Amino acid sequence: MVLWLKLLFGPTGTVILSALVVLSCFINLPSIILNDSDLPYLSPPLPKCDIFRGEWVPDPDAPQYTNETCSYIQDHQNCIYYGRPDLEFLKWRWKPDGCDLPRFDPHKFLRVVGNKTIAFVGDSLARNHMQSLLCLLSKVATPKDVSVTGKTDPNKILHYEGYNFTIYIFWTPFLVRAEEVAGKPGVFRLYLDEPDDKWVSVASRLDYVLLSGANWFTRETFFYERGQLVGGMYVPLNFTSKLNNRYSHRMAFRTSLRALDRMGFRGKVILRTLSPMSHFEGGPYNDGGDCRRTRPYYANETKAMEGVELDFYTSQLEEFREAKAKGLDMVLMDPTAAMLMRPDGHPSRYGHWPDEKRVLYNDCIHWCLPGPVDAWNDMLLHMLSD
């Protein structure tokens, strides 16, 4: 048997196989059955790499843009402009375990998304993500603002004419219908069984919907279902309710995903898991908390998620699995572990001038641009190309 295999797969194999084919036209040859054990050198295909588990490694070539080359950076994330003294936080890239995640290629991205539309649906971190994408693309193309709303409206439509590619950004921090309570700034009514029509009404025209959200669910909120008040978070109620923001967060994603499923959405849903809310050190955000670290954590230094952060993350995974099992075309974008390692990547106090006389807390939620959030678009391109 060993001799036969050496002849068959050795240098003379082509001649022998050709002869067998010709002979088989005239005579009946016994079948040749090869078991896996007969071919120990034929290994199975390698499993796909998990691009969301890995480490941050030094990258002397980063960043791909600066505040001088990109005009889409919002002041609050413009850390270089506002004088952040340490710039080593820019010199890292995300490296998955067991494989490589290519650097974002704007030419490839625009080829992949040509004649398509993508919507970033969520809060200011969705906008942070979108602005990173605009900066990375700015080396090769500039979009035209075709929004039907005013300049101050956070909902925008940007069109890349040469590629027929359109980006929507929908400001909807709760994903579902929400109203700010009159006379009570920062207090909201959430209608947990009603998706926000702002984005759902145009979803049928979209190829990709990138859903995200977490931070705003820690605010003062009343919960409504079927038009009735059923609970709340950090607000007075005249009845007893066990519902909290874990419930409202879960229901917002469930309602949004079910709305897409009911309408027969034919595009792809990308659910992005939460960005860390736990990088404040020395106190909470409103009592001196800050994020002044200057390098990433290693994976073995990262503190495990807990509390509301873990609960929000878990509910996103569970709602993703449920919606996908029901047939919705979905992929999970899970940068949470990577971003837990980047307490050094936030604006902190460098989203405004130090001597400005206005009340601004240290920002340990959003991400400097350029900065670690650019890795989200490395991941996004990989997922859209896969």
346 is catalytic: no
124 is catalytic: yes
Peptide bond into 63 cis (omega under 30): yes
What tokens does 50 get? 């998990």
Q: Where does residue 182 fall: left (phi above 0), alpha (psi -120 to 50 degrees), or beta otherwise? A: beta
Residues 6+ apart with CB under 8 A from 239: none
Could you tell me the strand order of the sheet in which 176-180 lies? 176-180, 187-195, 220-225, 228-233
Burial 30-41 (b: 16+ CB within 10 A, else e): eeeeeeeeeeee
Catalytic pick among 193, 363, 374, 378: 363
- DSSP string over 302-344: PPPP-HHHHHHHHHHHHHHHHHHHTT--EEEE--HHHHHT-GG
3-class SS of residue 95: strand
Q: What are phi and psi of 126, to 5 degrees?
A: -65, -40
159 is catalytic: no
Q: Which candidate, 156, 313, 130, 132, places its Cα nearest to that of 210?
A: 130
Catalytic pick among 76, 124, 196, 378: 124
What tokens does 289 get? 């908390």
Q: Where does residue 327 fall: left (phi above 0), alpha (psi -120 to 50 degrees), or beta otherwise? A: left
Report the number of secondary-structure helices (H) and strands (E) in the chain: 9, 13
Catalytic pick among 249, 366, 374, 378: 366
**Strands 156-160 and 144-145, sheet pairing:** antiparallel
Residues noted as catalytic = 124, 363, 366
